[in-house]
């Protein structure tokens, strides 16, 4: 194994680096460490309606591929309007019993979903990574345990209706329609299902077209848990299926997570109806580093903020605002850290950055990065070999970015960070809030009073202080402005699935 001393490095590699820097990423070649659990994939996945897997009425299926190597994983049923009708009819029928069931009985089913998911955690983690491209260490340590945690937490609420809105009584809404994105397929499903079920609603849910497998595998868990048929119905498909789910007359409420563009289409199509809505849309979060921040810790938070899940994160810290006195130091530390990130096979336990979810998303990232170069920002991408097949993108840092650049304004949804500087707290707030979005923000400083002031002034649904991307089922998550409305998680999230009586 090569020694990790500066003088053993090839001259060209050490140029411009601090002398004491350890360069794990490009000198140590790790042996492959693939996760080997069997994801137990079927060659074909049908719709899950009324407690059973049923073929789509059109007979049409589409392919889900593994973005890490572009191979086909399975065929997925494409639901049309008739299938969506059948799903709503099943949900409506189930509501007549599920909606009246004592909370403590309903809780047992939700608890069982959590336990069965835990039992099959490794299998689900591998399936999630293969279908979506995220590193196995993330699906194994974050997505799947967090999905189970949401069911556990909400199981605890099912018999506590009297505490959801103190002093008021609450009741279920009825049948709810839900459409979810491809960045956290199983976790977004759990975020949507758990509060809806806890409050006594029945559900029709559509997973995203590139990542339907874990949702449909969850159908197996729903059946194994013995949930009354029709309480949860899963209809896979594209935007047409999503539109049918969102606009169905039976839906008392709809919940959507995805792009702001599609969120607006859904809101327009529902204008004038009395459906309740929650929208969790895009973001362009500012991660703000003050000169008194613990810089090494901040650098870890910046890396996690933008490179977690290849940057396919609505609350990603995609704009770094750094205080001018420490800007050069932060940028140097950040580049050194990014050089150590391992990009490659998502199933390898050492991989930090996996595959981009789809060819379309890779094209979108590539186009936006090209616009950053054209607009005059400075591009940094570490060297290193990317796999020959599959959709991969290097971690990317743009410095000298201005607020007018597209890379500072548009959601890239990829591993691309735009770095800007500020001189005063007011300038940081002004820049952070100067966006159409308002989902999340990060603040790094030693001063508690500054954290409080920033979290008051930042127009963002979540503000993390001296950390980033911390999630918990007890903590509500949601946006301001074009990032959407409504909250998911905590008591606030339950209120979006209940009516006050
Ligand atoms: P999208 O918003 O089109 O897809 C999200 C979900 O909505 C999918 O399940 C899709 O099938 C469904 N859908 C599409 N059209 C619909 C319609 N008219 N009615 C109802 N449902 C519909 O997002 P897409 O195209 O996959 O990604 C485009 C961009 O959106 C990304 O590059 C990213 O910037 C952003 N995005 C943001 C997300 C977030 O959580 N903030 C999640 C996914 C995408
Ligand atoms: Mg796929």
Other Cβ atoms within 10 Å of 166 Cβ, number? 7
User: Is any atom of ligand 1 closer than 6 Å to the C-beta of 266?
Assistant: yes
User: Is any atom of ligand 1 closer than 6 Å to the C-beta of 259?
Assistant: yes
pLDDT at residue 291 above 90?
A: yes
CA-proximal residue: ligand 1, atom 9 (nearest)? 208
Q: Are residues 427 and 492 both part of a single domain?
A: no
Note the pLDDT tens digit of each residue in 361-377. 999 999 999 999 999 99
Domain membership flag for residue 13: no
Domain membership flag for residue 37: no
Distance CA(19)–CA(41), nearest Å, equals: 49
Domain membership flag for residue 11: no
Predicted pLDDT at 15: 46
Domain membership flag for residue 473: no
Note the pLDDT tens digit of each residue in 375-396. 999 999 998 889 999 999 999 9
Q: Which of 179, 151, 161 shows the shortest CA–CA distance to 251? A: 179
* pLDDT classification of 2: cutoffs 50, 70, 90: very low
Domain membership flag for residue 26: no
pLDDT at residue 18 above 60?
A: no
**Cβ-Cβ contacts under 8 Å for 501 (sequence gap 6 or more):** 168, 169, 170, 171
Note the pLDDT tens digit of each residue in 61-81. 999 999 999 999 999 999 999
360 is catalytic: no
pLDDT at residue 12 above 50?
A: no
Q: Are residues 102 and 116 both part of a single domain?
A: yes
Domain membership flag for residue 476: no
Q: Which two tokens stand for residue 12?
A: 């060209």
Predicted pLDDT at 17: 52
Q: Are residues 367 and 259 both part of a single domain?
A: no
Residue of 62, 78, 180, 181 to test ligand 1 pocket, by largest number of atoms within 8 Å of CB: 181
Q: Are residues 325 and 241 both part of a single domain?
A: no
Q: Are residues 91 and 236 both part of a single domain?
A: yes
Q: What is the mean pLDDT of the chain?
A: 94
pLDDT at residue 327 above 80?
A: yes
272 near 195, Cβ under 8 Å? no
Q: Are residues 160 and 51 both part of a single domain?
A: yes
Across the range 204-231, mean pLDDT stands at 98
pLDDT at residue 22 above 90?
A: no
Q: Are residues 228 and 317 both part of a single domain?
A: no
Sheet holding 61-66, edge to edge: 44-45, 71-77, 61-66
Q: Are residues 202 and 318 both part of a single domain?
A: no
Across the range 345-351, mean pLDDT stands at 96
pLDDT at residue 9 above 50?
A: no
Predicted pLDDT at 379: 98
Domain membership flag for residue 10: no
pLDDT at residue 244 above 70?
A: yes
pLDDT at residue 425 above 50?
A: yes
Domain membership flag for residue 3: no
Which of ligand 1's atoms lies nearest the C-alpha of 266?
A: 19
- Report percent pLDDT > 90 for the chain: 92
Q: Are residues 59 and 77 both part of a single domain?
A: yes
pLDDT at residue 7 above 50?
A: no
Q: Are residues 132 and 187 both part of a single domain?
A: yes
Q: Are residues 248 and 288 both part of a single domain?
A: no
Predicted pLDDT at 31: 85
**Cβ-Cβ contacts under 8 Å for 500 (sequence gap 6 or more):** 165, 168, 169, 170
CATH code of residue 114: 3.40.605.10
Distance CA(60)–CA(282), nearest Å, equals: 31
Q: Which domain holds residue 402?
A: 283-465
Q: Are residues 272 and 411 both part of a single domain?
A: no
Distance CA(459)–CA(95), nearest Å, equals: 38
Predicted pLDDT at 28: 53
CA-proximal residue: ligand 1, atom 19 (nearest)? 243
CATH code of residue 289: 3.40.309.10
- Report percent pLDDT > 70 for the chain: 94
Our count of domains for the chain comes to 2
């Amino acid at each position: 194994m090569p020694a990790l001393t500066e003088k053993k490095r090839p001259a060209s590699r050490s140029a411009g680096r601090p002398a004491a820097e350890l360069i794990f990423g490009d000198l140590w070649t790790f042996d492959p460490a693939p996760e080997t659990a069997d994801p137990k994939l079927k060659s074909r996945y049908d719709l899950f309606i009324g407690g059973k897997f049923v073929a789509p009425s059109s007979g049409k299926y589409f392919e889900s591929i593994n973005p890490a190597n572009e191979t086909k994983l399975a065929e997925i049923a494409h639901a049309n309007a008739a299938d969506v009708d059948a799903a709503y009819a099943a949900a409506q029928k189930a509501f007549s019993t599920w909606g009246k069931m004592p909370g403590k009985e309903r809780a047992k089913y939700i608890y069982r979903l959590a336990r069965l998911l835990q039992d099959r955690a490794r299998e689900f983690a591998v399936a999630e990574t293969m279908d979506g491209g995220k590193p196995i260490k993330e699906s194994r340590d974050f997505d799947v345990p967090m999905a189970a945690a949401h069911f556990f937490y909400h199981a605890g609420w099912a018999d506590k209706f009297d505490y959801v809105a103190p002093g008021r009584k609450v009741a279920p809404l009825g049948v709810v329609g839900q459409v979810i994105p491809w960045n956290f397929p199983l976790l977004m499903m759990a975020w949507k299902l758990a509060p809806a079920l806890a409050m006594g609603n029945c559900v029709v849910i559509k997973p995203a077209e590139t990542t339907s497998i874990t949702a449909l595998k969850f159908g197996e868990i729903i059946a194994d848990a013995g949930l009354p048929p029709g309480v949860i119905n899963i209809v896979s498909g594209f935007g047409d299926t999503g539109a049918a789910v969102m606009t169905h007359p039976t839906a008392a409420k709809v919940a959507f997570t995805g792009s702001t563009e599609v969120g607006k289409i859904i809101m327009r199509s529902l204008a004038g109806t009395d459906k309740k809505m929650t929208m969790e849309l895009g973001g362009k979060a500012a991660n703000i580093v003050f000169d008194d921040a613990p810089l090494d810790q901040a650098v870890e938070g910046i890396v996690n903020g933008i490179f977690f899940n290849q940057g396919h994160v609505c609350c990603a810290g995609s704009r770094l605002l750094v205080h001018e006195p420490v800007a050069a130091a932060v940028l140097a530390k950040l580049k050194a850290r990014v050089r150590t990130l391992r990009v490659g096979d998502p199933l390898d336990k050492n991989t930090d950055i996996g595959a981009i979810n789809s060819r379309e998303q890779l094209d979108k990232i590539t186009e936006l990065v090209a616009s950053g170069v054209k607009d005059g920002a400075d591009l940094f991408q570490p060297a290193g070999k990317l796999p020959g097949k599959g959709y991969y993108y290097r971690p990317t840092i743009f410095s000298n970015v201005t607020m007018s650049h597209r890379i500072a304004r548009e959601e890239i949804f990829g591993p691309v960070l735009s770095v800007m500087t500020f001189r005063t707290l007011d300038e940081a707030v002004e820049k952070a809030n100067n966006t159409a979005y308002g989902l999340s923000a990060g603040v790094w400083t030693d001063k508690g009073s500054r954290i409080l002031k920033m979290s008051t002034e930042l127009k963002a649904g979540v503000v993390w202080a001296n950390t980033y991307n911390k999630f918990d089922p007890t903590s509500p998550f949601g946006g301001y402005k074009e990032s959407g409305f409504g909250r998911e998680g905590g008591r606030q999230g339950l209120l979006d699935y209940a009516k006050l009586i």
